Amino acid sequence: MADVKAQLAAKLQALWEASQATIQERMEALRAAQRRLAAHPSDGEARRSGHGAAHKLAGVLGVFGLPRGSELASEIEARLAGEAALSVAELSALAERIEALAAAIAARDAQIVE
């Protein structure tokens, strides 16, 4: 049983490593959307782009054992789901969630290195 768990953990780790470029691209899409929305709070394309990236991250991070990351991505997705221009407070909260999400991903990477 321990061998099966170790093999599964190794395969999941390999998949995580193979997914890093895609995960980082999605994080950059979130950051880009946040920057665009800070300049133009009613930018619908920025909202849709960020919403899509957050949705994909919410799904994949749970698979890799990052429930907090998945939760944060879901919160970001919900914040970007509407059509109305984002307020200054909403933009600030969005930026905080994106940075918290980046920290959650970095923490998983740090656990791997240790």
| % of the chain surpassing 90 pLDDT | 75
Residue 109 DSSP symbol: H
CA distance 57 to 70: 7
DSSP, residue by residue, 54-104: HHHHHHHHHHTT-HHHHHHHHHHHHHTS--SPPPHHHHHHHHHHHHHHHHH
Residue 75 falls within a domain, yes or no?
Answer: yes
Q: What is the CATH number of the domain that holds 37?
A: 1.20.120.160
Give me the pLDDT at residue 113, please. 46
Q: What are phi and psi of 80, to 5 degrees?
A: -95, 0
Q: Which domain holds residue 90?
A: 25-113
Q: What amino acid is encoded at 36 in this protein?
A: R
Residue 9 falls within a domain, yes or no?
Answer: no
Q: What amino acid is encoded at 11 in this protein?
A: K
**pLDDT digit string (tens) for 22-62?**
999 999 999 999 999 999 999 999 999 999 999 999 999 99
